[in-house]
Structure 1
Amino acid sequence: VDRDYTLVLDEWMSNPNAESNMNMSGMDHSNMGNGQMDMSSMGHDMSMYDIFTINGKSGSAVKPLKVKKGEKVRLRLVNAGYMSHKLHLHGHKFKIVAADGQPIKDPQPIKDELLNIAPGERYDIEFTANNPGEWLLECHGDMKGTDGMKVKIQYEGATNNTDKSNAKEDLPTVDMTNYGKHELGSFTLDQKYDVEYTMNLGTTMGKDGMVYTINGKTYPETAPIKVKKGDLVKVKLVNNSPTDLHPMHLHGHFFQVLSKNGKPITGSPLIKDTLNLKPGEEYVVAFRANNPGNWMFHCHDLHHASAGMITEVKYKDYKSDYKPNPNDTTNKPE
């Protein structure tokens, strides 16, 4: 490519002290009423995060992306925050060429569709600069900070006709399960697996506030996925939370997404390490246990992780040689 830009998405609080009004599991007790709680008010109050940024800047402070007519441009999009963001590239067709750093097979050009990026996810998109002027890559949504998450794309030497935001326009979202050319990947639904694990993701009230569970338990009580090196592992993930998104992230491995809501993937083999589950969704993924260690498998909304939604992939034949020195650390685990 001729230009290669990395754009890191994040959210911040203009009033960080608002956090101290919430308890550690992120529940606003003012919603409790008479000890009862409406399911829609469960969980962390995300409206506190009212400044959205690209590379640490917001709105007009975001440095424009310079391009020349005819150039091929790659944008590497990284969500380092707590929220999902839907991005729209104005004025150009684009291809999604990689998901979580893994290539997409024969991606087709798309236009005026939103790319949804969940916490922990990375997507690379490419477009040809064939429409001189000044355009936007912007976030769509109705949160207070949404308007700040946008960056100008400026053609060198072109008269700048400032592009207008259309963040309120209702555009379709790309479905990655049928995007790209279909072919079989390394794993299939009906092959034999050495380890199978079902991960039911839930939200419930704990004694100290909201907790986020895997199979009804919070870490460290969650049952680990026990493997040995070389095992083929199949995991079914089911989001039983009524309103919460759960972007589930596996450390140390990439998995292939095999099905969504019982239907096999019909696009490119989808290899990822982070998978965003909306309420009611069910995915089946598979991976080979080829990286001995003890690896977290957790929700990348870190409010959910710190309130319980963590398990581990544990290799039976692995022994860590790391010994922490209790007199020489300031680390405080959550």
Structure 2
Amino acid sequence: MFSRRGFLGTAALVTASAVSGRVQAAAIPEAPTMDKAVMQPPLHPTSGPDYRPVVTLNGWSLPWRMNGDWKEFHLVAEPVVREFADGMKANLWGYNGQAPGPTIEAVEGDKVRIFVTNKLPEHTTVHWHGMIVPAGMDGVGGLNQPHITPGKTFVYEFEMKHSGTFMYHPHSDEMVQMAMGMMGMFIVHPRDPAFRPVDRDFVFIMSSYLIDPGTYLPKVNEMTDFNMWTWNSRVYPGIDPMPIRLGDRIRVRIGNLTMTNHPVHVHGHNFAVTCTDGGWVPESAQYPETTTDVPVGAVRAFDMLADNPGDWAFHCHKSHHTMNAMGHDVRNFIGVSRKDLAKAVGKLAPDAMVMGSTGMAMGNMEMPAPDNTLPMMTGTGQFGPIEMGGMFTVMKIREGLGRDDYADPGPYNYPPGTVAYEVDAPAAEPARQPPAGERKTKPSMKGMKM
């Protein structure tokens, strides 16, 4: 785990001759790394304009150093091992020890210098998605710059002309490198801290993978049939909860570098989309939502008043995206006699388990699976199995949380009489009233001739 004090005070320096490209950079700053897959505390600024820093689900913000009036960062593109959740790890490519890479934070008007060192087995670049930069800094290999070959370091320099929510990712062998997890978020805070302030600011990026059960390496040529849908390369129950103080105004920033759109839904509240990767949405154009669709290659940020205490589901509303290791070539056996099916299957596969004749609920079902494979639906709440996976977490809204307290507050203490409950009802089929249009009535005698 990095030490920000050590990074800012005793940065390791190397001669400028090691840098390919901009010789103005006098030395290369050290590259902090992270070995934990849990949300790190916000990285508050120690100089320059004040701002509310973001927190990254299962991630962290990259420390920097000041060199004159330049804010300097160092990204290292390298192979990494990422734990999707307890029981499954994947061999990915990322930055500074993790995939996705660390969140980069800057302020509108900052001059930033970003060193990128390539420790991959092939060349790479970095594109600053949505940001207005000089053409030679845009990061499309072959078009805007030479590719960064293995072992080399390049420098990107530009001024942050606009605040907003952006991403970074390669534009070299893009199909492979993004499918291997190379991506991250880039937050540019307004120079005026009074511009649309919030109390808590969350960020994450969405990615998808096809990893066969029992294996560790994504299939990078896949276009549509993914089985792991992730937030910051984590799946539920490995995705951090979101602790929120009751009454806080929060912002959630979401980047999408998967191969499909995601309708992201919040329970118990409404919100307004306030920012995209193109900039801030004027207040006159905002309207209330409980679900917002995040297109491919886009960013959506929404602001929400956390005024309803409790544990609230927050997830993608595509049901297959809230499952892990989802197999898609599975027949539907609902309504099929389990006894007859088991007899037929048993002749061919004596150890097979017949399932699905009454549905696929898996909360109380344990099935053998290869090593390094997660159940499709998992996680447990105070009332039993949650039966979710993939793109799912919980907003935990509580009274009394500290300003920078992001520790899991545990299960919600429901006030008496506020939990749905079972009633005593006869086991027999209850009487049902037919729809109005189907009710049988006696014909009226009025107006009939006798």
Q: TM-score range by the shorter chain?
A: 0.3 to 0.5
Q: Radius of gyration: which is bigger?
A: 2
Select the structure that is richer in strand. 1
After TM superposition, the score normalised by the length of structure 1 is 0.38
After TM superposition, the score normalised by the length of structure 2 is 0.28
